[in-house]
Structure 1
Amino acid sequence: MTLRRNFLMGSMIAAAGAATLRTAAAETVALPTADTSNLATDDGYWAAVRDLYDVDRSIANLENGYWGIMARPVLEVYLENTQRVNRQNSLYHRSAFGTDFENVRTRVAAAVGALPEEVALTRGATEALQVLITGYNKLQPGDAVLYCDLDYDSMQYAMAMLKDRRGVEVKTFSIPEPVTREAVLETYKEVLDQTPKAKLLLLTHLSHRTGLVMPTREITDMARERGVDTIVDAAHSWGQISFNATDLGADFVGFNLHKWIGAPVGMGFFYIKKGRLADIDIHMGDQDWPADDIRSRIHTGTLNFAAALSVPAALDLHEKIGAASKNTRLTYLRNQWVGPVRAMETYEILTPDDQSMHAGITSFRVKSKGTKDDNNALVAKLRDEFKVLTVCRAGVAAGQCIRVSPALYTTEAEVARLVEALAVISGA
């Protein structure tokens, strides 16, 4: 009886503790009313947003494409959740985490405009997309799969793996420079028309290499007309661009939560449109969930509980600021450096100024200098001599480049520092 009483008491304590786990952050955030007529340059509003982030200002960090740091309200939720999960340990996990985790999944689904049964949480977009690519089971020997030079490395690896896994032909192609919307659409049309055995296309909504935003819906529609399924990589777009999962026109999409949504590192998810689940294999022989449950398509094992529990806080703040507002500000910061640098003879900007084809990320290179050594040397010079952090990106067919990705906490002065540095380096 004593043992039973102690067990029941422990369960009640765990349940009570679970109820106090913090998932919200936005209610603690007070932002001024934004001037919607001049949102991009509303200094008071964006200063209040910047104040939500504790960052190292000793360097102008224009390399925010790796992951997005947590705003202070989200970090506070994450730290509290870490402490509570650590204190309650397996008692919490055995008694309450399953329900809490399911609530997070439901919250994510609502945020992306999907049904809960269409969403499964992962440890990032890479894991999400690897599951979709390697698990896609409609391929037959002799079929073809397609991807381009601007797609993410890990996803290219997974597509290439299908040659041995499924016995298919892997066809690659490049996006031409200079880039235009018409050229992109024509490139995909030609590749699809020239590959009648194609059955699967990898398509990156917003390229991590150059920041190019693909006309995704037009391309997925084009592929579907030819009997080709598309897996969309939305790792960088969701949070920079305002859209829902269904807007992309694809039945399979991988998302990140720790980049432009600002959740703790190690969180993402995938979307499988209702009615398409059977076309993705059960993951690693999972038997925890029924075959008709999307959660059987990812078997991660033990994850960072506190990170998952803090996702709603990140979504709350993201929605409080608004995806469209974030896009407006990030695009403005992008244009602050792209315009002046485009006018310098030394450099070439790889992303067009067509507003439908970029968000906050854009890349550049020194003309006729597209090697790894060239670009790494310039990245080092910007960092060490001018205190501006950028990153070299490989894989672009026309040559390596340097990616610039401002964040909501970036100031106009930090962007101007990049412009001044490139002017000095070019001798302009």
Structure 2
Amino acid sequence: MDIDRRTLLGATAMPFVPSVLSAAVSADDWGSIAREYDVTREIIQLEHGNWGMMPRPVLQAYRAMIERVNRDTSYYARRGMAGDLEGVRAQVADAMGVAIEEIVLTRNATEAMKALILQYNRLQSGDAVLYADLDYDSMQASMQALATTRGVRVMKMALPEPATRQNLLDAYRMAFDADPGIRMVLLTHVSHRTGLVLPVAEIATMARQRGIDAIVDAAHSVGQLDFRLPELRADFIGMNLHKWIGAPLGVGALYIRKDRIDAIDPDPAEDPARTDIDARVHTGTPDYAAQLTVPAALAFQAAIGGSRREARLKQLRDRWVRPLRDMPQVQILTPDDPAMYGAITSFRLRGRTSHDENVELARTLLERHGIFTVHRDGLASGSCVRVTPALATQESELDRLVEAIRELAS
């Protein structure tokens, strides 16, 4: 499908919606939507968690933006691009349900989360911070670094497995009450290890009642689940736009509630007296073309709709999980409570919890069955294999996965 190049190059506010996509969405024609993605057919790709593939219209928009930035360089950058980027930021803020002065673009969620954790300035020597085994590795490392940079005690907890909403709430409640010195907690909305969805709003509220700030890692939840940032009831959130929103690689965002911006120090490369959110991140020169393509990605996703997208991703997850749930040899690591999973779910063969065993399991799925997954480490209970379908995934591919796991389990 052709997109008007003048529209793409003229402004970032264009919300174009391909007519074929609109028709497919109206008919719940997920096959047509999947065909908007040029996914490889050399293997069955079930590892969409690393980053999100751009659908064809977004890829075309990105190519056009690369051409413009490359052609006009600083003539555009110093005369009109700042206004266009502010338009991108406004659209991101609107999509997330927050004010423009509460959002700043980053290169990824890791950059956003590092700023929030390492520049959080409400800690005193002897205070404690808390994180969990399912949190992302670099976020765990950033929390550990606070022992040196802020002189605090760093606490780690193992989340219950199998998880339920209630035992997760109970686990955090007990951890908070066991150490009144806790002043900050890291919460991962959707775990990259297992796909577990934390009841973040309830935990953040529980924390606030005890004088604890929650810093939320929404790298995998924005675009995978249907919500707006205020619903998480947290003041500090980092997110990706190149995973489930499908923008080009190299775009994320940081949110700070406007009356809490002073709780995050400016980046060391910025003027320490600045009070705006922009000063909390200092990236240098980013991929401007990627940032300018974000409105195209938002428009594509808006045409599908958040609730419809979440439902489809859960349907794809259920397609392979439900046939295997009753197999005693297969351990599914995400509960079947619809509020506690999205697209991602991990599994292991029961009793096989080592790193090497799950590396081998993922290798066998690829080499014997042509199915690409990825092993994950770091759980208190052991290693596992992660399966991540996306809108590009065909249901028949998940049926192939079921057959393969059944064979390996037997």
Q: TM-score range by the shorter chain?
A: over 0.9
1:248 to 228, 232, 241: 232
TM-score by length of 2: 0.96
What letter is aligned with 2:252? Answer: G
Contact in 1 for aligned 2:85/2:292 (Cα 8 Å): yes
- Alignment partner, residue 3 of structure 2: none
CA shift for structure 1 position 28: 3.0
- 2:95 & 2:113 partners in 1: Cα distance? 19
- Alignment partner, residue 296 of structure 2: 313
- 1:103 & 1:178 partners in 2: Cα distance? 44
Cα deviation code 1:181-219 (max 9, x no counterpart): 111111000000001000000000110100000011110
CA shift for structure 1 position 174: 0.3
- 1:164 & 1:107 partners in 2: Cα distance? 38
Secondary structure, counterpart of 2:259 in structure 1 = coil
Give the 5 Å matches for 1:151-190: 151-190=135-174
Q: Does 1:208 align with 2:192?
A: yes
* Structure 1 unaligned spans of 5+: 1-15
CA shift for structure 1 position 78: 0.2
Secondary structure, counterpart of 1:200 in structure 2 = strand
Q: Does 1:27 align with 2:17?
A: yes
CA shift for structure 1 position 58: 2.0
Give the 5 Å matches for 1:34-183: 42=28, 45-183=29-167
- Alignment partner, residue 347 of structure 1: 330
What letter is aligned with 1:202? Answer: L
Q: Does 1:227 align with 2:225?
A: no
CA shift for structure 1 position 91: 1.2
Contact in 2 for aligned 1:21/1:81 (Cα 8 Å): no
What letter is aligned with 1:52? Answer: E
Cα gap change, 1:163 to 1:27, in 2 (>3 Å): same
Pairs aligned (count) = 405
1:265 to 249, 255, 269: 249
- 1:396 & 1:261 partners in 2: Cα distance? 27
Cα deviation code 1:146-194 (max 9, x no counterpart): 0000111111011100000000000000011111111111100000000
- 1:253 & 1:17 partners in 2: Cα distance? 32
- Alignment partner, residue 10 of structure 1: none
- 1:285 & 1:58 partners in 2: Cα distance? 45
CA shift for structure 1 position 27: 2.9
What letter is aligned with 1:327? Answer: E
Secondary structure, counterpart of 2:268 in structure 1 = helix
TM-score by length of 1: 0.92
Cα gap change, 1:32 to 1:244, in 2 (>3 Å): closer
Contact in 2 for aligned 1:49/1:409 (Cα 8 Å): yes
Cα deviation code 1:90-120 (max 9, x no counterpart): 2111111111111111110000000000001
Cα gap change, 1:25 to 1:109, in 2 (>3 Å): closer
- 2:391 & 2:282 partners in 1: Cα distance? 34
- 2:17 & 2:302 partners in 1: Cα distance? 12
- Alignment partner, residue 375 of structure 1: 358
Cα gap change, 1:382 to 1:259, in 2 (>3 Å): same
- 1:177 & 1:89 partners in 2: Cα distance? 52
- 1:240 & 1:207 partners in 2: Cα distance? 12
CA shift for structure 1 position 26: 3.2
Contact in 1 for aligned 2:8/2:14 (Cα 8 Å): no
Secondary structure, counterpart of 1:351 in structure 2 = coil
Secondary structure, counterpart of 1:376 in structure 2 = helix
Q: Percent identity?
A: 48
- 2:117 & 2:192 partners in 1: Cα distance? 18
Cα deviation code 1:316-344 (max 9, x no counterpart): 11111011111111101101110112222
What letter is aligned with 1:26? Answer: F
What letter is aligned with 1:28? Answer: P
- 2:61 & 2:201 partners in 1: Cα distance? 36
- 1:240 & 1:153 partners in 2: Cα distance? 21
What letter is aligned with 1:210? Answer: T
CA shift for structure 1 position 29: 4.1
- 1:28 & 1:34 partners in 2: Cα distance? 10
Please tell me whether Structure 1 or Structure 2 has the larger radius of gyration of its CA atoms: 1
Cα deviation code 1:4-53 (max 9, x no counterpart): xxxxxxxxxxxx999625664633342355688xx8xx4xx111211211
Contact in 1 for aligned 2:223/2:245 (Cα 8 Å): yes
- 1:22 & 1:82 partners in 2: Cα distance? 13
Q: Does 1:198 align with 2:195?
A: no
Cα deviation code 1:305-362 (max 9, x no counterpart): 1000000100111111011111111101101110112222211001100011001110
